[in-house]
Amino acid sequence: MIGLIFKDLRTAVLQFKLLLILLVMYFGYSIYLKDLAFFASMESVLVLVLSMMAFGYDEKSGWDRIACTFPGGRDRVVVSRYLFGLIISTVMAIAHVIMGIMLRTQASVIADSLLIAFSLSALFMAILFPLLYKFGSEKAKLIFLVLFIGMLAVSSGLLRDNESYVFDFGRVSNVLILVGSLGLLAVSAWISCRIYRRKEF
C-alpha cells in the first residue's frame, strides 16, 4: 500500500507549482481578510481538487489496469486512495494551524474551525470517491458539482461569520463530529471497494 500512496503523493507533487500558487493565494487572501474561515473552506476544496486530479491522472494513463494486476487484491488500491486523501487533509490541517497562529486566533477557535474543515474534507471525499469509482472522473465531477453547490449552502450555514466561530451543532460534541465524519469516510471506502471489485478494465 505504501507504494500506491507514494504514487499518488508523487503525482500530486508534480502539480506542486499549481498547488503552491493556490496555497499562497489562499494564505495571502485569508491574512488580508484576517479570516480563518475563508482558509478553512478552501482547505476542503483543495483536498477535492487534488483527489480529482489523482483520479484523472490514473484514467489518462490507464493506471488502474496496471494496479489491478498487482497481487494483494483491489481493495488496497481503493484504501490507499482514501489514505492519500487523509494525508492531504492532514497537510491542509497543519497549514490551517499555521494560518491560525499567524492570525493570532484563539486556540479553541483554531481547533473548532480545524475540526469543521477536516470534517468537511472527509465528507467531500466520502461523497466524491464512490462517484469517481462508479462513473469515472468526467461524469463524477458533474454529479458532484450539483451536490457541492448544495453542500456549500449547508456548510456556509454551519460556519457563522462572526468572531467566535460558534458552530450550530447543538449538543453534538466536537468528538462526535470527528468520529461521524471518519465513520462516513469508512462507509464510503467500503462502498468504493465494492464498486471497484466489480469494475472491469
For 136, phi and psi rounded to 5 degrees? Answer: 85, 165
Q: Pick the piece of the chain touching another protein (CB under 8 A) from 9-17, 122-130, 144-152, 181-189.
A: 9-17
Q: Which is nearer to another protein, 70 or 169 (CB)?
A: 70
Binding test (CB under 8 A) with another protein, winner from 1, 25, 94, 107: 1
Q: Which is nearer to another protein, 39 or 63 (CB)?
A: 63
Q: Rounded CA gap, 35 and 105, in Å?
A: 9
DSSP 162: S
- Residue 133 CB, nearest distance to another protein (Å)? 15
Grid cell in block for residue 10: 508523487
Phi-psi region of 34 (alpha: psi -120 to 50; beta: other; left: phi over 0): left
Instruction: Compute how many residues bind another protein; rule: CB under 8 A.
Output: 26
3-state helix, strand, coil in the chain (%, to 5): 85, 0, 15
Q: Rounded CA gap, 64 and 60, in Å?
A: 10
User: Which stretch of DSSP H or E encloses residue 17?
Assistant: helix 16-33
Q: Closest by alpha carbon to 51, among 117, 116, 128?
A: 128
Q: Which is nearer to another protein, 6 or 169 (CB)?
A: 6
Q: Which is nearer to another protein, 74 or 86 (CB)?
A: 74
Q: Which is nearer to another protein, 60 or 171 (CB)?
A: 60
- Residue 46 CB, nearest distance to another protein (Å)? 19
- Residue 198 CB, nearest distance to another protein (Å)? 8
- Residue 92 CB, nearest distance to another protein (Å)? 22
Other beta carbons less than 10 A from residue 62's beta carbon: 10
Instruction: Return the residues of window 54-113 that contact another protein according to CB under 8 A.
Output: 57-58, 60-63, 65-66, 68-73
Q: Rounded CA gap, 93 and 103, in Å?
A: 15
Q: Which is nearer to another protein, 51 or 121 (CB)?
A: 51
**Site residues for another protein per CB under 8 A:** 1-4, 6-7, 10-11, 14, 57-58, 60-63, 65-66, 68-73, 198, 200-201
